[in-house]
């Protein structure tokens, strides 16, 4: 009996082998068409017929990576390696999954295995070198961050030292304040691919940090009976699609309030434009424009998926650090009319979590790998009851019973979350009690999904959905500023 057969406890028949291969080939075709979910279904069928083949798990792992199911990708890659220790792509896939989860030391170990197996493989050597740099960089940053009285970057910024050059013709703050004229000028200035002056950019960041620092981790919002309120999901640096939301639904104002539910940046290569637009509207309408933290408002995600590189390319490394300080103060959730809870990710690994407990979370930090703050940013719903380990490798998956129990305990009607691509830009699950909204259409220029936003009014709080297609953008590809190890993700 072969080693592979011993692992699975059975030898596959020749008919099974042919059937499984057919499923694999069909899955490969869907993968090429970027229909990753269908590819995953077919790789799964191949595995069900013949669970002894490492390649099936390796291919499904790659498809899971493409759909951001990093936990599943990691499990499949490990299974492929278990079946065939010499299957080099298995180590590649597992390293990519570890990288996506910010587990750089474990990724480095797998890349080292690949370079030993393929000493002449330039790609493997490059990935090993890049990953090694990342491990050393993080170790250095950790060493210097233990200084007890480390100064905030915000305290080191001197706006008086920043002169406005005569040739600058872009938007200008009036008496150091954001105005409607400034915002309308900024929208058109950015649309033409121009850059906001660094003095104004820094001023916006300093002011927004001060505002967010005064907010609780859970913000209560009151919506009058006859007033409209809009909830948007992930934007992910897709500035021209953000402009389209405003075209379809109107600019933010005191009579047209918005909540943007995290993941404003990364992947899309106009993240700087997105974040300053949103921060500008927050300063202009502080009580009618709201922003929740997403899992991509974190230093590790920004270093991997492009925002950190984009800020350094368009401004400075100092500004990139200042963004990290600002993101640490973003609220984690919003409660609308004491009826609807909105968070980026989802619910929790335990049943007794209350709104008051969320309100008291100490959020001024990088997202931890477990606990309430982590789960608010990372969790996902599942159709089956109960809980399961996250497909992402972080947070938890929660079923309809978990949602119903949470709503009952806290006197809520339903929850709104984002965090996941949906074909129509939204999905209603858990008997209408768990709604997903995702506002980045044709995500990463590859997924072909629509975007959506939710509108409701204070009287009945009934969600209404507007779904829309992607609009053209300048020829700058997604992930243009991302870490080279993750360029495969788009």
- 177 shares a domain with 88: no
- 288 shares a domain with 185: yes
* Rounded alpha-carbon distances, angstroms, from residue 52 to 32, 56, 65, 251, 411: 24, 9, 21, 56, 50
* Tally of residues, the chain: 490
With respect to residue 149, please indicate whether it lies within any of the assigned structural domains: no
Residue 70's closest CA among 243, 356, 301, 401? 301
Helices and strands (DSSP H and E) totals, the chain: 18, 14
- 326 shares a domain with 194: yes
Whose structure tokens read 């606990």? 371
139-175 in b/e burial notation, b at 16+ Cβ within 10 A?
eeeeeeeeeeeeeebbeebeeeeeeeeeebebbbbee
DSSP H stretches of helix in 266-336: 271-284, 299-305, 307-314, 317-327
With respect to residue 15, please indicate whether it lies within any of the assigned structural domains: yes
Cα–Cα distance for residue pair 118/125, rounded to 1 Å: 9
- 196 shares a domain with 83: no
Last residue of a domain, one of 116, 144, 172: 144
- 265 shares a domain with 340: yes
Cβ-proximal residues to 83 (8 Å cutoff; 6+ apart), any chain: 4, 7, 52, 53, 54, 57
Q: Is 17 helix (H, G, I), strand (E, B) or coil?
A: helix
- 304 shares a domain with 337: yes
Q: Is 474 helix (H, G, I), strand (E, B) or coil?
A: coil
Last residue of a domain, one of 80, 115, 144: 144
Last residue of a domain, one of 109, 144, 179: 144
- 378 shares a domain with 408: yes
With respect to residue 336, please indicate whether it lies within any of the assigned structural domains: yes
With respect to residue 150, please indicate whether it lies within any of the assigned structural domains: no
With respect to residue 211, please indicate whether it lies within any of the assigned structural domains: yes
Residues of the chain with pLDDT under 70: 1-12, 141, 144-150, 487-490
Instruction: Give tens-digit pLDDT for 106-124.
Output: 999 999 999 999 999 888 8
Give CA angle at 422 (411, 96), nearest 5°: 110
- 340 shares a domain with 370: yes
* Rounded alpha-carbon distances, angstroms, from residue 156 to 152, 202, 319: 7, 11, 11
With respect to residue 256, please indicate whether it lies within any of the assigned structural domains: yes
Domain count, the chain: 2
- 201 shares a domain with 117: no
With respect to residue 151, please indicate whether it lies within any of the assigned structural domains: no
What's the whole-model pTM score?
Answer: 0.91
Cβ-proximal residues to 139 (8 Å cutoff; 6+ apart), any chain: none
- 44 shares a domain with 77: yes
Give me the domain span that covers residue 350: 156-489
* pLDDT in the model for residue 146: 57
- 28: its two tokens: 């490969």
- 251 shares a domain with 324: yes
* pLDDT in the model for residue 7: 42
Cα–Cα distance for residue pair 105/113, rounded to 1 Å: 13
Instruction: Give tens-digit pLDDT for 438-462.
Output: 999 999 998 899 999 999 999 999 9
Residue 11: which CATH number? 1.25.40.10
With respect to residue 421, please indicate whether it lies within any of the assigned structural domains: yes
Task: Point out the residues that are catalytic.
Answer: 296
Residue 20's closest CA among 44, 42, 49? 49
- 67 shares a domain with 207: no
Residue 281's closest CA among 189, 193, 211, 179? 179
Residue 319: which CATH number? 3.60.21.10
Whose structure tokens read 């393929």? 118
- 180: its two tokens: 């409607």
Cα–Cα distance for residue pair 115/107, rounded to 1 Å: 12
């Amino acid at each position: 009996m072969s080693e592979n057969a011993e692992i699975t406890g059975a030898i596959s028949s020749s008919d099974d082998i042919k059937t499984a291969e057919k499923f694999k080939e069909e899955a490969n075709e869907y993968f090429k068409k970027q229909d990753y979910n269908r590819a995953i279904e077919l790789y799964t069928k191949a595995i069900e017929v013949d669970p002894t083949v490492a390649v099936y798990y390796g291919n499904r792992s790659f498809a899971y990576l493409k759909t951001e199911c990093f936990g599943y990708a990691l499990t499949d890659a490990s299974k492929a390696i278990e079946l065939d220790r010499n299957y080099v792509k298995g180590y590649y896939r597992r390293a990519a999954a570890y990288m996506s989860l910010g587990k750089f030391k474990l990724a480095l170990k797998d890349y080292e295995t690949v370079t030993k197996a393929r000493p002449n493989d330039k790609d493997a050597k490059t990935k090993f070198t890049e990953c090694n740099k990342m491990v050393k960089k993080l170790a250095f940053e950790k060493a210097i961050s233990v200084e007890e009285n480390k100064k905030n970057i915000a305290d080191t910024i001197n706006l008086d030292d920043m002169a406005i050059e005569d040739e600058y013709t872009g938007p200008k703050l009036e008496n150091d304040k954001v105005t409607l004229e400034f915002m309308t000028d900024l929208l058109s200035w950015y649309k033409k691919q121009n850059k906001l002056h660094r003095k104004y950019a820094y001023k916006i960041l300093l002011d927004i940090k001060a505002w967010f620092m005064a907010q609780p981790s859970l913000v209560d919002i009151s919506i009058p009976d006859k007033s409209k309120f809009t909830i948007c999901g992930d934007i992910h640096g897709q500035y021209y699609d953000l402009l389209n939301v405003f075209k379809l639904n109107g600019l933010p104002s005191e009579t047209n309030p918005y909540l943007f539910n995290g993941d404003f940046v990364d992947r899309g290569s106009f993240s700087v434009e997105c974040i300053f637009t949103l921060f500008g509207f927050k300063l202009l309408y502080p009580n009618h424009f709201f922003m929740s933290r997403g899992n991509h408002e974190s230093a590790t995600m920004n270093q991997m998926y492009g925002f950190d590189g984009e800020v350094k390319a368009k401004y400075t490394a100092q500004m990139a650090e200042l963004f990290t300080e600002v993101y640490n103060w973003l609220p984690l959730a919003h409660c609308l009319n004491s009826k609807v809870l909105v968070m980026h990710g989802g619910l929790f690994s335990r049943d007794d979590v209350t709104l008051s407990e969320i309100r008291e979370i100490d959020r001024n930090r990088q997202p931890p790998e477990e606990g309430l703050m982590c789960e608010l940013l990372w969790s996902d719903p599942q159709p089956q009851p109960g809980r399961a380990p996250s497909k992402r490798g972080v947070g938890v998956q929660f079923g309809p019973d978990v949602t119903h129990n949470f709503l009952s305990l806290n006197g809520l009607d339903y929850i709104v979350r984002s965090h996941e691509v949906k074909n129509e830009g939204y999905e209603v699950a858990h008997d209408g009690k768990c709604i997903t909204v995702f506002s980045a259409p044709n995500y990463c220029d590859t997924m072909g999904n629509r975007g959506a936003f939710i509108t409701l009014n204070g009287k009945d709080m009934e969600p209404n959905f507007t779904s829309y297609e992607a609009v053209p953008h300048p020829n700058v590809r997604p992930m243009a500023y991302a870490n080279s190890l993750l360029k495969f993700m788009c």
